[in-house]
Amino acid sequence: MTEKKSQQQVQDEVSLYARIVSRTEELMESGRKNLDEALKKASEDFTSAGEFTREQSERIAGYVKRDLGHAADHLSKTAESIKGAVMPQRLAVGAQSLFARILTTTSEQLQDWAQKAETQLEFKTGEITSPGTLTCKNCQEELHMKRTARIPPCPKCHKTVFRKSY
Ligand SMILES: [Zn+2]
């Protein structure tokens, strides 16, 4: 995480993130894989194509998994507690639209993921994540991420750990 990354590397990782999401969608829609299998296969596909190292693919797939779990957790809570139109509209522009196809094809896995997500809620500087609001755990400064991107240090206190909401 302390390793200095070039702009190009960051771009590549953001693009790999998006490609793992769409490859996972395709695999899920073919109906032969569950979410864990699909994510694993997607990261293997990009490794074997030689464009990315195994370390990179697995790390980025880990971010996708964390963000999906977080989105699933959020969706399951929202579905129970908020029935109005305000939240879904807001969500439509964020991670939910990015993951919509995956989340809708995995309804029975959502609960599992939602529970696992509780332990995966750390978002750190240097990681890639989907759109949403990151709140600095140290000073509560909010960072609004409008697209999938690398998480910067807190602009206010320069710390590196955040929680996320939509
Ligand atoms: Zn801060």
Handedness of CA 8, 12, 14, 15 (dihedral sign): positive
Q: Which pair of structure tokens corresponds to residue 136?
A: 């600095």
Give me ligand 1 centre to Cα 36, in Å.
33
Give me ligand 1 centre to Cα 55, in Å.
29
Handedness of CA 90, 95, 97, 103 (dihedral sign): negative
Give me ligand 1 centre to Cα 113, in Å.
29
Give me ligand 1 centre to Cα 125, in Å.
11
pLDDT of res. 96: 63
What residue type is assigned to position 84 of the chain? G
**Ligand 1 is a single-atom ion; what residues have CB below 5 A from it?**
136, 138-139, 141, 154, 156-157, 159
pLDDT of res. 82: 41
What residue type is assigned to position 94 of the chain? G
pLDDT of res. 83: 40
> Whole-model pTM?
0.79
pLDDT along the chain (166 residues), means of 10: 73 93 89 86 90 92 87 69 43 62 68 61 92 94 93 97 88
68 phi and psi angles, rounded to 5 deg: -65, -45
Give me ligand 1 centre to Cα 120, in Å.
20
Give me ligand 1 centre to Cα 128, in Å.
18
Strand partners, 134: 143, 164
Each residue of 128-140: b (16+ CB within 10 Å) or e?
bbbbbebbbeeee
- The whole-angstrom separation of Cα 82 and Cα 5 is 41
67: exposed, middle or buried (Cβ count in 10 Å: 0-12, 13-18, 19+): buried
Please give the torsion angle defined by the CA atoms of residues 154, 99, 67 and 54, in that order, rounded to the nearest 10 degrees.
-110
pLDDT of res. 55: 93
Instruction: Return the domain boundaries, the chain.
Output: 7-120
